[in-house]
Structure 1
Amino acid sequence: MNANPQAPLLNIANVLTMLRIALVPVMVVFLLLDAVPAGSGLSPWEAQHGGWRWAAAGVFTAAMVTDKIDGDLARSRNLVTDFGKIADPIADKFLVGAALVMLSVLGELWWWVTIVILVRELGITVLRMWMIRTQVMPASRGGKWKTALQAAGLFLMLLPLAAFAEWLATAALWIMIVALVVTVITGLDYIVQAMRIRRAARGNA
């Protein structure tokens, strides 16, 4: 997807991307407002019943929707810009990273899960940017599944499901675990692809 030098920087696709970034601190504030009060004696699961938690899940959903819309608009209206190509993945990582960190801060997701996913996302992003000099590495089908599973898992974990049934919260956690597995596998796949591309480039040279 090549950038259009004629496309204005201030266009609807880029505005939606920046809106997604702006929604991240809003989601974080909502989660903090719903956090367990110090000294209450309640576990995080027992406190998941407030309207702020629903609001945080709603903001996360709205931000994910803008991710789909801005990409479609950029392609259909030929509004692809260099800024958008850089800002869009940053906005995605910012949103997912903030949700992961907040769930771990609230004690609802193991820190090791958050760390593994964040290291993979950052590492593969750096790898793909480095590989641009040789060949563009497009998102694989597995990468798209990874994104969908992460979004579904985070959305469900943000909802106050434990207020209705513990098994719903457990199911949401298992979806997040599946997302973790797919995240690691696709990350390894990207590394293998990069090694093959570099090997082929050396052979051609």
Structure 2
Amino acid sequence: MDASRSVPEPLRQIPNALTILRFLAIPLFVVLLVREQDGPSWAAGIVFGLAGVTDQLDGWLARRWHVESDFGKVADPLADRLMIDVCVVLLVVYDRLPWVALVILLRDLLLVGGYKLVVPRGYEFEVSRLGKIATWGLYASLALVLVTARDTWWPLALFWVSLALAVLAAAQYVAKAMREVRR
């Protein structure tokens, strides 16, 4: 029996609904962080952390219930990129991260732009294990930066490790796309 048929139709929509909630959480996150820009922001950190949890939950449910969708394959990583990028930009603006952290924006622009170029040519994008680990690390480290005092070293160290993994994952995506699109 097909596992997706055993899941009632309303429940099959939960993974995509969680992704949409992540998009909707971005403005709330911005408002909460702007209110407490100078110090730890537990409210913004909790919203950001919940976004990270929904990222894990929506993918797990979609795979478990076999209800992966074309929408989810595009929207899920896009919601993550936007949430993380907005967080990094605001933390740089509020001097909680150094400006070099904005390299994450370049990485994400490369991936989104590259995606638009290679998918019409037959490339099927799938998030790699390294990409997932990097995203988990970015969510965790940025949530910790949000809830700790300025210049607390250990969340920043976790952020730099996660950023390095994210850049490495991007390099792997580019290499895979170049191999597959040339065929």
TM-score of the aligned structures, taking structure 1 as reference length: 0.75
- Of residues 77, 92, 101 in structure 1, which corresponds to 2:89? 101
1:151 Cα deviation after fit: 1.5
CA contact (8 A) 1:131 1:137 kept: no
C-alpha contact 2:49 2:140 (8 A) present in aligned 1: no
Aligned counterpart for 1:62 among listed residues 30, 37, 50? 50
Secondary structure of the structure 1 residue equivalent to 2:21: helix
User: Which residue is 1:121 aligned to?
Assistant: 108
Instruction: Kindly report the root-mean-square deviation, in angstroms, between the aligned alpha carbons of the 2 structures.
Output: 2.3
Select between 81-90 and 146-155 the one with higher mean Cα deviation.
81-90
Alignment partner of 1:128: what SS?
Answer: helix
Task: Show structure 2 runs of 5+ residues with no match.
Answer: none
Separation in 1, partners of 2:170, 2:63? 26
Q: 2:61 aligns with which of 57, 73, 98?
A: 73
- Give the corresponding residue for 1:185: 168
- 2:20 matched to 1:23? no
Equivalent of 1:154, from 142, 150, 161? 142
Answer yes or no: is 1:139 the counterpart of 2:127: yes
> How far apart are residue 170 of structure 1 and its match?
1.2
Cα contact 2:141–2:158 (8 A) shared by 1: yes
Letter in 1 for 2:139: A
The structure-2 alpha-carbon separation of the partners of 1:85 and 1:137, relative to structure 1 and needing over 3 Å to count, comes to closer
Going from structure 1 to structure 2, the CA distance change for 1:82 and 1:190 (only over 3 Å counts) comes to closer
Deviation at 1:101, TM superposition (A): 1.0
The answer (yes or no) to whether the contact 1:31–1:56 under 8 Å persists in 2 is: yes
Q: 173-182 or 122-131: which moved more?
A: 122-131
Query: How many residues of Structure 1 are paired with residues of Structure 2 in the alignment?
Result: 174
1-structure distance, mates of 2:37, 2:175? 41
Counterparts in 2 of 1:137 and 1:77: CA distance versus 1, 3 Å: closer
The SS at the match of 2:123 is coil
Pick the structure with greater CA Rg: 1
CA, structure 1 residues 58+86, in 2 after alignment: closer, same or farther (shift >3 Å)? same
Instruction: Report the identity percentage.
Output: 36
1:180 CA displacement: 2.2
> Contact (CA 8 Å) 2:130, 2:165: kept in 1 or not?
yes
Q: Which has the higher helix share?
A: 2
TM-score (norm 2): 0.83
Conserved? CA contact 2:123–2:177, under 8 Å: no
Alignment partner of 1:108: what SS?
coil
Structure 1 Cα separation of the partners of residues 76 and 55 of structure 2: 8
